[in-house]
Amino acid sequence: MKKVTYLNVFGVLGVLGVIILILLSSNVSKKGFALSAAQPPAVSPNNIEFNVYPLTLPSHMTFAGESVPLHDFEVRERIDRELMTNTYWHSNTLRLIKLSHRFFPVIEQILRENDIPEDFKYVALAESGFDLVGSPAGAKGYWQFLKATAQSYGLEVNSEVDERYHIEKSTRAACKYFKKAKEKFGSYTMAAASYNMGINGLQKQVDRQRNIKYFDLLLNTETSRYLPRILAFKEIIQNPSQYGFKITDADKYPPVPFKEVQVNQPISDLASFAFKNQMNYKLLKFYNPWLRDNKLTNKSRKTYQVKVPI
């Protein structure tokens, strides 16, 4: 019986305690004090207050020497979207700035040799981010060529060799495309847009809308964002500090020196070939991502230039 009495007492005390807490909480709320008021303001991991600001768009922008109609509010908002996305996607954009230091010199030289404006280097950046990626549609490599398109511009594509992953050869193939598209549409902006949508697809919209200016056309979401994204990359990479990226050349990824070894015979084991050239299999594939298998059959005895570290 005593145990039951003690339990009843403790039960009553517990209920009273809950009632008191409810009353105290109600009193605090009536006085206007939020329970979260004592919490410190949101800070970054480095204890620096973090603020997000809208961006001020440049007063003038160009692509390949062609002016962008920033007086058009719809164009401004499209570009604003891409600038915000890539400015505040810090880790991705910072990595692209670093990688561009390695790949841009190679691409710039080939663009000059083919009389293609330097701004087209940002097309490769937008297409692949210089990663060895593939799309669900089957586009692959630095310039994201489809297999049939790559072959039509002279690239070798098979199970052992895929020159879509060859930075120099795929850039030369892209130059051929841009020249053809420029002749077709009369502007570099439209040539770049067609790289995303296809020459035939873009021509259908030109015929339908009776307009040949990219920024005046109503296009699918991907293509309508394509040039603004390229322009955003150009603007941020040319003026990184204006968008909060404090980076020096020492922080960027440098070009990797190499020499070339001619190969015109089959290679049955690329790992053994790598060791004979003072590197491992991983480095062989890093320097030559176009080698897609662990062997090179080369029945036709074609001559390949294989990069090896110096």
pLDDT in tens, 105-159: 999 999 999 999 999 999 999 999 999 999 999 999 999 999 999 999 999 999 9
Q: Which of 17-31, 163-177, 180-194, 223-237 shows the lowest mean pLDDT across its residues?
A: 17-31
One domain, residues 106 and 147: yes
Q: Dig out the tokens for 297 from the structure.
A: 């059959």
One domain, residues 220 and 273: no
Examine residue 47 and state whether it is found in any structural domain, yes or no.
no
SS3 content of the chain, % helix, strand, coil (to 5): 55, 10, 35
One domain, residues 108 and 168: yes
Where in the sequence is the domain holding 300, given as residue range(s)?
A: 258-309
One domain, residues 278 and 220: no
Range 71-88 burial, b when 16+ CB lie within 10 A, else e: eeeebbebbbebbeebbe
One domain, residues 81 and 154: yes
Which pLDDT band, with edges at 50, 70 and 90, does 268 fall under? very high
- If you ran DSSP here, which 8-state letter would residue 279 be given? S
Examine residue 274 and state whether it is found in any structural domain, yes or no.
yes
pLDDT in tens, 215-237: 999 999 999 999 999 999 999 99
One domain, residues 278 and 172: no
One domain, residues 246 and 263: no
Q: How many domains does the chain have?
A: 3
Q: Looking at residue 225, which CATH number applies to its domain?
A: 1.10.530.10
One domain, residues 108 and 141: yes
One domain, residues 162 and 231: yes
d(CA 69, CA 56): 16
